[in-house]
Amino acid sequence: MAQLNFGGTTEEVVTREEYPLAKAQDFLSNKTIAVLGYGVQGPGQALNLKDNGFNVIVGQRKGGGSWNKAIEDGWVEGETLFELAAATQQADVVMYLLSDAGQISAWPEVKANLNAGDTLYFSHGFAVTYHQQTGIVPPKDVDVVLVAPKGSGRSLRTFFKQGKGLNSSYAIFQDVTGHAKQTATALGIGVGSGYLFETDFKKEVYSDLTGERGILMGAIAGLFEAQYNVLRKHGHSPSEAFNETVEELTQSLMPLVADNGMDWMFANTSTTAQRGALDWRHKFREANTPIFEDLYASVASGEEARVVIEANQKPDYREKLNQELEALRNSELWQTGQQVRKLRPENV
């Protein structure tokens, strides 16, 4: 393992140098890997594993959009594409990549078709961590591991095609065979991880739910709306408000931060921007820390899991979700975004 030093804290990580793809291929050479679910994470992980030379099949309920998407991507019914039970029966490694709600619904069927000594793989700690609410308790005779790419399945696939990789966390929940860690590592490299850092199922889901509701989506969407609305209230045009709020951040600044860090960003802006940003960052941090503490507490208590599970069980959930998304899409902020994106040089 490689050792990284983060300001005095040392962390062991697995890189492609310590665990090259050839080693992963050799370790899993006689294993059949079934990817159950072809929605968010399924396509990226399944296709990356397939392209990396692993023996992969897909399990999905027949007849829906995801089944058809799998066929469009080249999976063949009866050869590499099966319904959930059949795929599970054939597999040595069962990658359980249905949605959280889908995992709850399909668990009795999947559990009944697991074989002793199999590996049950997750990319999210939700089902196992909140087992009292999900009902998902893995059998005692299978290995249970996790590899969680830090990004969407689409990004995982895009990066893979570019020869890059998304960093992933990995965790071992249950090691029956004595090989669970090596299996997780091989699968993490196989799906296209940049490097792997260790966690556990609980920490993964706590950080993931906090991130999704916080910086990754909820907080950033709320900050976009707040700044845009204030600028519009004070007479700025939609174009000016959107460009100063979203377009400059996503198209210019964030790629630079991703490549060089925020310290570099501060050092390479005007003195006016530099001084103001350095001062105001403290105010934003202090104002938002209590919100993040509340959010983390809600995640850790299981309240966020309860809300998600109850919402997904309502018969009109999808209809109401679409209404919420439509309202967001039709807001002036994101209608402006649609027009601005059309005017980017590559789209003109």
Tell me whether residue 124 is one of the annotated catalytic residues: yes
58 with 86: CB under 8 angstroms?
no
Distances (CA, A) of 55 to 92, 118, 187, 292: 10, 15, 12, 42
| Residue listed under structure tokens 């929605």 | 39
Q: Token digits for 113? A: 């078709």
- The C-alpha angle with vertex 14 and arms to 10 and 18, in degrees rounded to 5, equals 115
Query: Residues near 255 by Cβ (< 8 Å), separated by ≥ 6?
Result: none
Rounded Cα distance, 175 and 146, in Å: 12
Asked if 110 and 82 touch (Cβ cutoff 8 Å), the reply is no
Element (H, E) at 224: helix 218-233
The span from the CA of 102 to the CA of 215, in Å, is 26
Phi, psi at residue 168, to the nearest 5°? Answer: -135, 150
Query: Hey, what are 41's tokens?
Result: 């994470």
Sign for the pseudo-dihedral over CA of 92, 98, 101, 106: negative
Whole-angstrom distance, CA of residue 168 vs CA of residue 146: 10
Q: Which of 124, 131, 236, 282 is catalytic?
A: 124
Question: Tokens 């899409």, residue?
Answer: 329
- Asked whether 308 and 100 are in contact (CB, 8 A), the reply is yes
Residue 249: half-sphere exposure toward Cβ, Cα within 13 Å: 12
> Which residue from 146, 164, 133, 139 is spatially nearest to 207, judged by alpha carbons?
146
**Number of CB atoms found within 10 A of residue 107's CB:** 18
**What residues act catalytically?**
124
